[in-house]
Amino acid sequence: MQQANFQVDPRLATLLGQDYSTTEKALKELIDNAWDADAEIVTIDLPAPLSDAPIVVQDDGNGMTRQELEFQYMKIASDRRVRAGGRTPKKRRMIKGKKGIGKFAGLMCASTMNVSTKARGVQIAFTLNVEDLNSASGIESLALPLDVRECSADDHGTSVTLTHLRQGLRYPNADRLRQELIMEYGQQKDFKIIINGKPLDIDDLDGDFQELSATLPDAGPVVLRFTISSKKSGLRRPGITLLVDGKAVGKPGYFGLENSDEVPTRLLKKLYGEIEANGIMEYVTAGWDSVIENSEAYVQVITYVRQCLLDALRATHGMEMRLAHARLKKAMDQRLQKLPQHKREYADRAIKKVLKKYYDEPAHKVQALAHVVLEAVERSEYRLIMEHLAEANRGDVSNLADALERFGLADMAILVDQAKARLQFLDELEQLIKDKSCLEITVHRAIEYNLWILGAAFTVFSSNTTLKRQVEDLLNQTYNGRDAATRPDLLLNESLTGEFLLIEFKRPAHPLTYDDYQQATRYRHHLRDYSAKPVKVLVIGGKIGDFPVIQMEPDVKHLLFSDIISTARRQIEWQLQRAH
């Protein structure tokens, strides 16, 4: 009998305090470990309630050699992503295990965990139990007996058996576990999960499941399988995946349904499924990231999927959508009747757009938004001018010139109203920053939704979002740097010159310091590793402390709220002078 000892990373005390909220979440950690081991099949056997049967999680992954067991598995709290460069060795999957304590997840729901792993002709088995961990003076002093024996050189994988399920905890439930796993692993074609004999599949998602098939003239046989989620909120990874010969092409999408005025965006985010269309193989691009869009076969697939989804949504949510529109239209009817016919039709379409965007919101909120839309339609002459422009484009040059002049006059009138409103906003903002109790988040929100105060070059890219999410969600790259959980205040999208602008706000009463400068530039250093585009830095505060004014990094500026307001006020006043 051989033995091994745990090696403890300094982060252990912090990480072991982060337990799992449910048994199913703990079991997911074991599935993540199988994913990281390049497994293709994972089987999970859950016991019947109130029985003494164990939980068994078995995979056909790489398994562990004695060396890997000692220097990787036995080293607690080490980050596997750092060791492996962020990807698994064979399948190059993105590594999920990051805390180095997922190996203990089984002990959250059971008192004893038996592990058996096979790799390169050697099978190693050992047992961990809660009692031994509690009685040891330190986990690094816990001797772990290893049962080492020979096995077939072709055998590989790991099996985890959990016995003596903890009393007082809810028994693991197959349906709840499927819900925990479906969004992350439901469409992974090289990673099959079988729970109590049934493979994880699209029909495991709570909601209305359908499987439809057809033979299209040019695309041949297709099979569409999808679920409309019954959850109130949208799914984390919604959309329909296109499969050709079992391989996903590009990212999940909605096959043109996102352009339908009938279907609300929030309702689209409840769709989850796949369409198998092997007959369009010749039109798939070399990188498997898209399909040649003007191929007749692909157009037929798009048309088929869009119509099937639309029919399904009409059947499940159509009455709800029509009633919502009818209720809103009735509430708006009195004002609609006062509008000219051309404006009435335009207002009706605008209300439909409000319903589409704010589907599932309370009725009183949607009504308030619709009232704002109607007021804009009642007051604005844009619609008339645009119609005149459309007619002029089909006429002679003099008519077009006259239409453009009328457009400019109408646009100027609207800009005057806007400029006056903005001057009032600046007055209120000026009073706000003079209040010593004003917080950073207050001015952050005020300026985020009024970016005109900084100029027209940028639009919001992300607000108060972690560096990790900015890189992974917005730049589509894997974040491997430090400070992943820190949150730059505001990152503005690229300007016409291809730049980003990173803004860090400080409360108006706070003097800008050297630490503020270092914080903002540190954010930029992290972002530079993932974007080749220039990132400018702007630190905004109420007054200057020891903020550096010389020997700074390039493209770093600081501004005071008072200067921003003063500059914005001068620009608006200049616009008003031109208008008069």
Question: Do 265 and 126 reside in the same domain of the chain?
Answer: no
Cβ proximity of 561 and 428 under 8 Å: no
Residue 418 placed within a domain: no
pLDDT at residue 48, as a whole number: 84
What tokens were used for 332?
Answer: 């708006």
Q: Give the chain's residues under pLDDT 70.
A: 1, 3-21, 76-85, 97-102, 133-142, 167-169, 261, 320-329, 331-332, 334, 340-343, 346, 352, 354-417, 456-464, 474, 493-498, 578-580
Residue 343 placed within a domain: no
**Contacts with 444 (C-beta within 8 Å, 6 or more apart), sequence order:** 463, 464, 489, 490, 505
**Contacts with 98 (C-beta within 8 Å, 6 or more apart), sequence order:** 79, 80, 81
- Encode burial over 136-163: b for 16+ CB neighbours within 10 A, e otherwise: eeebeebebebeeeebeeeebbbbbbbb
What tokens were used for 354?
Answer: 């409000």
- CA nearest neighbour of 540 among 565, 522, 573, 523: 565
- CA nearest neighbour of 36 among 91, 106, 118, 99: 91
Residue 442 placed within a domain: yes
Indicate left, alpha or beta for 6 from its phi (over 0: left) and psi (-120 to 50: alpha). Answer: beta
* CATH number of 217's domain: 3.30.230
What tokens were used for 352?
Answer: 């439909």
With H, G, I as helix, E, B as strand and everything else as coil, classify residue 275.
strand
What tokens were used for 530?
Answer: 């993932």
Chain mean position to CA 260: 23
Looking at 195, 222, 257, the residue that finishes a domain is: 195
Cβ proximity of 223 and 276 under 8 Å: yes
Question: Do 284 and 252 reside in the same domain of the chain?
Answer: yes
Q: For the residues of 277-336, what is the DSSP string, one character each?
A: -GGGGGGB-TTSS-B-TT-HHHHHHHHHHHHHHHHHHHHHHHHHHHHHHHHHHHHHHHHH
Question: Do 139 and 278 reside in the same domain of the chain?
Answer: no
In angstroms, the CA 210 to CA 309 distance is: 10
Longest dimension (CA), the chain: 98
pLDDT in tens, 291-308: 987 889 999 999 999 999
Question: Do 151 and 95 reside in the same domain of the chain?
Answer: yes
In angstroms, the CA 178 to CA 203 distance is: 10
Question: Do 77 and 216 reside in the same domain of the chain?
Answer: no
Question: Do 498 and 527 reside in the same domain of the chain?
Answer: yes
Q: Could you tell me which residues are beta bridge partners of residue 227?
A: 209, 272
Cβ proximity of 489 and 464 under 8 Å: yes
Q: Tell me how many domains the chain contains.
A: 3
Question: Do 10 and 141 reside in the same domain of the chain?
Answer: yes
Chain mean position to CA 185: 16
Question: Do 22 and 159 reside in the same domain of the chain?
Answer: yes
Domain that holds residue 506: 434-572
Question: Do 449 and 560 reside in the same domain of the chain?
Answer: yes
Question: Do 161 and 301 reside in the same domain of the chain?
Answer: no
pLDDT at residue 8, as a whole number: 47
Q: Which residue has the tokens 């099979």?
A: 223
In angstroms, the CA 107 to CA 331 distance is: 58
Residue 536 placed within a domain: yes
